Structure 1
Amino acid sequence: MFEAVEEYPVDPIMIGAEYFAQDPRQDKLDLTVGIYQDAAGKTPVLKAVKAAEQRLVNIQTSKSYLALTGDATYCRVLGETILGSDLFDDFVAAQTAGGAVALRVMADLLAQMPNRPTVWLQTPTYGNYIPILTAAHARFEMLPFYDPITRNILFDQMLEGLCEARSGDVVLLQGVCHNPTGADMTEAQFDALLDVLEARGLVPWIDLAYLGFSQGFDQDCAMARKIANRFPECIICVTLSKTFGIYRDRAGALLIKTRPNDTARIHRAVSAIVRSSASHAPDHGPAVVRMILQDQDLKALWLDELDHMRQRVIAVRSEIVRCEEQEFGRTDLSYLGRQSGMFSLLPLSSEQELALTRDHAIHVVKGGRINVARLSAADIPTLITAVHAVLGKVSLR
């Protein structure tokens, strides 16, 4: 039977991590998997998370099932924190096992509609979007977004590509700290994009994965609030892995804004999709998040720790620019200082990527994505020297 199973495409991030594990060199550098690391190379458990976990152990009285859409209090507290209480009231909400499950539930819902809408994706895009949409048998098309060689957002080309979209189609956007490019639209560009979506009757779907890593948590929610305030229908997916440092505990949510007459029916549809797949969301991570957001002292501690992580990532980016200019008198990588979040793309050809790993033991995701949050102070000169070596004498300007 199993000999008939064809090869499945493997996530490039997982391929990169596997290659790193197989590399016998002691001086190898792993810039693949998307986790935050501190200056010592550790992924810490936040003090606020640790305190909430201990409190949860002391007060939790049951491990019984939650509703199919999870803990309603968690959904409301999270939704109101991101959107505000007035905006959240218009949403159907479900607790999910991280953002990937929220994306999959929504993809299943779109694929099961009588007239399946097309989901429009930015190129390059987050590596798991296409596998999720494909597995759900959802329709999707690609839009230009970013040129890794010129390091520019292709904004006009993206708007031109949307001319092919039809009313009722869905446009999947990322919030702050775009993965994999690190390039975020300006506020003016984002507003202009929303104008186009509204004029063409397109539904925005925003994926919030890095809240707090750009300008700060509250500021980073602004894009979602603009969408929720402006559109009668929209979709928001949330993952809290990076924001709370609870990667393995899988805390996320799916928020769907509907017209009032559709709310109950969409809630039943989401419940049915959850039942046929994950069945029930795990609760430890979401319970910790709920506890932190409901306690002013824990919330203040968490926001302080989150800001510390954000500032470290900014400092790493600044140090790359400073070190390159000091050591090489060139600024081929200066764009990294203008970008945000944990990820960026190196402007390398596939052959140069191969040389970076083969000759310098630096592992990146296919396409040149690096996780700058995994760089220590000692790693930065190593990376810059290796990138300049594989680029040779050819300037990128």
Structure 2
Amino acid sequence: MFEKVETYPIDPIMIGAEYFAADPRREKLNLTVGIYQDEHGQTPVLKAVKLAEQRLVETQTSKSYLALTGDADYCRVLGHEVLGKAYDDGWVSAQTSGGAVALRVVADLLAQIPTPPTVWLQTPTYGNYVPILTAARARFAHLPYYDPIKAEITFDRMLEGLSAAKPGDVFLMQGLCHNPTGADMSRAQFDALLDVLEARGIIPWIDLAYLGFAQSWDADCAMARQIAARFPECIVCITLSKTFGIYRDRAGALFVKTQRPDRDRIHRAVSAIVRSGASHAPDHGPSVVRTILQDPALKTHWRNELDQMRARVAQVRQQIADVERAEFDTDLLAYIAKQSGMFSLLPLTEAQETALTRDHGIHVVKGGRVNVARLGESDITKLIGAIIEVASAK
């Protein structure tokens, strides 16, 4: 039976990690990993998280199942934190196992609509969108978002591509710290995009995976709040893996804003999809988040730690630009200092990217994505020198 199973597409992030593990060189550098790491190469457990966990150990009275849509208090607290006053309008909410499950629930929901909408994707974009939409048999199409060689957003081309969208279609965007490019729309561009979506009757679907890593927690929530206040129907998916450093504990959420007559029906649909897939979401991570957000002291402690992580990533980005200018007298990577979040795309061709790994032991995700948060001070000069060498080779 199993010999008939066809070969699945290779996940570029997972295969990149495998190639790194198989590389025998000691002086190799892994920039494929998609998690925050400090200057020592560690992914720390936040002190606020530890304190919240201790409180849960002392006070939690049951490990029984929650509702299929999870802990209502967690959804309510997180909804108000992210969406602000707009959350009072009433939403269909669900606690999910990270952001990927939230995305998959929406993909299943859209695929089951009698006349399925097309989901429009930025290109390049998060590598798991296409596998999720494909597995759900949802319709999707691509729009040009970023030119990696010029290191700039192709915003006008993206809007031109949306002219093919129909009313009721869905635009899936990342709110900030765009993965894999690190290039976020300006405020003016975002406003122009929302004007187009509203004029054409396109539903905004925003995926928030890096809240607090661009400017601040509140500033990073502004895009979702703007969408939530403006559109009668919209979708918000959230993962808190990076924001709270609880990757393996799978804390996420789904928020769907609907017209009031549709709300109960959409809640039943979401519950049924959750039941047929992930079923009940794990609750340890979400309970930690709820505990922190409901306690002013823990919340302040967590925000300070989040600010420290964001500041370190911004510092590494600036160091890349400064070191290149000071030691190599070039500005090939200067754009990295102007971007946000953990990821950026290197301005390399496929052949140059291959040479970077083959000749220098620097492993990146296929397509040139690097995790700048992984870089220590001693790595920066090595990375810059290797990129300049492969980029100048003929």
Taking structure 1 as the reference length, the TM-score comes to: 0.98
Q: Is the 8 A contact 2:143 2:161 kept in 1?
A: yes
Which 4+ residue blocks in structure 1 deviate beyond 6 angstroms?
none
Task: Report the Cα distance in structure 1 between the residues aligned to 2:88 and 2:205, rounded to whole angstroms.
Answer: 15
Does residue 191 (structure 1) correspond to residue 203 (structure 2)? The answer is no
Give the Cα–Cα distance (whole angstroms) in 2 for the partners of residues 117 and 233 of structure 1: 14
Q: Which residue of structure 2 aligns with residue 250 of structure 1?
A: 250
- In structure 2, the partner of 1:8 is 8
What letter corresponds to residue 239 of structure 1 in structure 2?
T
Q: Is the 8 A contact 1:77 1:290 kept in 2?
A: yes
Secondary structure in 2 matching 1:171: strand
Alignment-derived partner of residue 214 in structure 2? 214
Q: Residue 329 of structure 1 aligns to which amino acid in structure 2? A: D
Q: Tell me how far apart the structure 2 counterparts of residues 16 and 117 of structure 1 sit (CA, whole Å).
A: 33
Residue in structure 2 matched with residue 152 of structure 1 by the alignment: 152
Please state how far the C-alpha of 1:90 moved relative to its aligned partner.
Answer: 2.1
1:238 partner SS: strand
Aligned residues: 394
Q: What is the percentage of aligned positions where both structures have the same residue?
A: 72
Residue 57 of structure 2 aligns to a residue whose secondary structure is helix
Q: Structure 1 residues 155-164 or 81-90, which shifts more?
A: 81-90
2:44 matched residue in structure 1:
44
Partner of 2:134: 134
TM alignment of 1:297-312, pairs within 5 A: 297-312=297-312
1:354 aligned partner? 354
Give me the whole-angstrom Cα distance separating, in 1, the residues matched to 2:51 and 2:360. 42
Partner of 1:392: 392
Q: How does 1:173-192 map to 2 (within 5 A)?
A: 173-192=173-192
In structure 2, how many angstroms separate the alpha carbons of the residues matched to 1:141 and 1:264?
30
Q: Aligned letter for 1:199?
A: A
Question: How far apart, in 1, do the equivalents of 2:201 and 2:88 lie?
Answer: 22
**Counterpart in the other structure of 2:234:** 234
- Mapped to 1, the partners of 2:141 and 2:90 lie a distance apart of 29
Q: In the TM superposition, what are the counterparts of 1:214-363 in structure 2 within 5 Å? A: 214-363=214-363
Unpaired stretches in structure 2, ≥5 consecutive residues: none
Equivalent residues of 1:238, 1:254 under 8 A apart: yes
Cα RMSD after superposing both structures: 0.8
**For residue 200 of structure 2, what is the aligned residue in structure 1?**
200
CA contact (8 A) 1:76 1:88 kept: no
**Structure 2 length-normalised TM:** 0.99
| Aligned-residue offset at 1:91 | 1.1
Deviation at 1:11, TM superposition (A): 1.2
- Asked whether the 8 Å contact 1:69–1:280 carries over to 2, the reply is yes
CA distance in 1, matches of 2:386, 2:127: 25
Give the CA deviation at 1:89.
Answer: 3.5
Distance between the aligned counterparts of 1:157 and 1:85, measured in 2?
Answer: 34
- Taking the aligned partners of 2:91 and 2:160, their CA distance within structure 1 comes to 31
Contact 1:210/1:341 (CA < 8 Å) preserved in 2? yes
Contact 2:86 2:229 in 1 (8 A): no
Q: How far apart, in 1, do the equivalents of 2:91 and 2:188 lie?
A: 26
- Residue equivalent to 1:27: 27
Q: Distance in 2 between matches of 1:41 and 1:151?
A: 27
